[in-house]
Amino acid sequence: MRITLACALVLLSRVAMAGDEGAEPTDAPKPEVAPASSTASERAPVVVTNRCSLREGVDLRARSLPSAAGSVARRYFACREESRNEQVGELESFRFVPGAEIFASYAARSTTDAEPKFFHQFDLPRLHLSVDGDYHADEWLTRARVVVEGVRSTDNGALIGVGGDSLLVRLREAYALAAMDPPSGESGPILEARGGVIPTPVVAELDGTSNLRVLGTSAAETARLLVPADLGAAVRVSTAGTKNGTERSGQSYLQLAAYNGDGYASREQNRGKSVELAGLLRPLPKGLPELAWLVVGSLGSTGPASVRAHRASTALLYQGARVRAGLATTFAYGVDGDGKQKGLANEAFVRIETKTRIPALFSARVQVSFRDLDASDRITSVTLGVGARLLPLVELHLIGERSLATKIAESTFPGADFWEVRPTMRAFF
């Protein structure tokens, strides 16, 4: 119907141009076209809408019906053409961003304290799929984020799980977020609230800063003193930082959060909740904005018996574009269901990326952890990696790791003393 009417109006417009060239020109403003973003990650999706209407733009000053019809037709088709490429106000404030990260590796390991002495396998150390949906309205941002990860169906040494020992997909993060989002250049505090399965700040900051997740988990996560996410809610107040598209960087913040306390992989087992206070400070925001100091403390409980599970962490981080480094430590009071047991995890890392046509990646990390300080069950791990970004979204790494364990640690964690070499491919977007 609309196409037939449009064709009729085009014919009328030709008649109008042939027989009524004296009609007054219209001066209605053309639709404004928003500038395109400079990068693909910032570019909003192209949306074609029905905002162009044949009922709009009628020139009441036209001296004849054919002239008015011709004016409407010209405006309608011009508007439709521009709408295919422009960013349309309200609808273009919505952004949908899928993401993925996959590590595919081949690991050859030689152990000194367990059988078999030599073992090698193909593995999938990491599979993450994510979806983010952002909606901007005035100076506010709402976001929904979902992350799933691939895991083995068995745990704690079990041999039989779901479908044997299948690789399964489970929920890693799933939360809703609402935050102030003032325009670029404006300073002042930004208020943010989120709830659901939310990331915890220590693991998130260490993994995000080091960009060394391809080498393995952080020391506190490896020693099972911290979890990367938990069910809860958080309120954060932060500085404006630098805005790039819809993302911000270089922020300092203060966050108050409450969690179930048993981690995202377990259900709540007691009536107690873990309360956490976290702060990230950038001591030199003008001269050295890459430098950051993280301090996090939590009071919590875990398990059916509400066993104490308090944590204190601090980290000094350098978050440069091509050089990233950090020192971090986490102290735990209450480990493995024992409210009196104390644990400690320390690590230092550095990552360097060259500015060449094919960027080379050099990385190193040292971790020293104790699950029980009184028992001195120390495990020391040194990991070195060299790699290259062969394509914009593909990296190839050669990783070598040496793990040293005390006799007590060997008896508690068989196989903790080993040598390992693993070529790993990382693909991400």
Whether the pLDDT of residue 323 is over 80: the answer is yes
pLDDT, tens digit (0-9, with 9 covering 90-100), for 9-39: 444 444 344 444 443 444 444 433 333 333 3
Residue with tokens 């909003």: 44
- pLDDT of 206: 94
Q: Are residues 216 and 336 in the same domain?
A: yes
Q: Are residues 245 and 262 in the same domain?
A: yes
Q: Answer whether 82's CB lies under 8 Å from 116's CB.
A: no
In this prediction, residue 47 has a pLDDT band, given cuts at 50, 70 and 90, of: very low
Q: Are residues 215 and 327 in the same domain?
A: yes
Pairing of strands 378-391, 418-428: unpaired
Q: Are residues 27 and 129 in the same domain?
A: no
> Residue range 390-401: average pLDDT?
96
Whether the pLDDT of residue 7 is over 90: the answer is no
Q: Are residues 267 and 174 in the same domain?
A: yes
pLDDT, averaged across the chain: 81
- pLDDT of 185: 59
Q: Are residues 110 and 242 in the same domain?
A: yes
The pTM score is: 0.75
Single out the residue in 83, 113, 136 at which a domain terminates. Answer: 83
> Residue range 57-64: average pLDDT?
46
Q: Are residues 202 and 302 in the same domain?
A: yes
Residue with tokens 């309360």: 275
In the chain, helix, strand, coil percent, each to 5?
15, 50, 40
Q: Are residues 139 and 27 in the same domain?
A: no
- pLDDT of 82: 56
Report the distance separating Cα 114 and Cα 109, nearest Å. 11
**CATH code, domain with 278:** 2.40.160.10
Q: Are residues 77 and 205 in the same domain?
A: no
Q: Are residues 74 and 105 in the same domain?
A: no
The pair phi, psi for residue 295, each rounded to 5°, is -135, 125
Give the structural domain span for 55: 2-83
Q: Are residues 216 and 75 in the same domain?
A: no
Report the distance separating Cα 180 and Cα 185, nearest Å. 14
The pair phi, psi for residue 221, each rounded to 5°, is -75, -40
Report the distance separating Cα 332 and Cα 226, nearest Å. 9
More confident residue, 418 or 112: 418
The DSSP code for 76 is H
Single out the residue in 83, 116, 151 at which a domain terminates. Answer: 83
Structure token digits, residue 211 = 């960009």
Determine the length of the chain: 429
- pLDDT of 260: 94
Single out the residue in 83, 100, 129 at which a domain terminates. Answer: 83
List, as one string, the DSSP characters of 380-412.
EEEEEEEEEEEETTEEEEEEEEEEEE-HHHHHH
Whether the pLDDT of residue 285 is over 50: the answer is yes
The total number of structural domains that make up the chain: 2
The DSSP code for 360 is E
Q: Are residues 105 and 25 in the same domain?
A: no
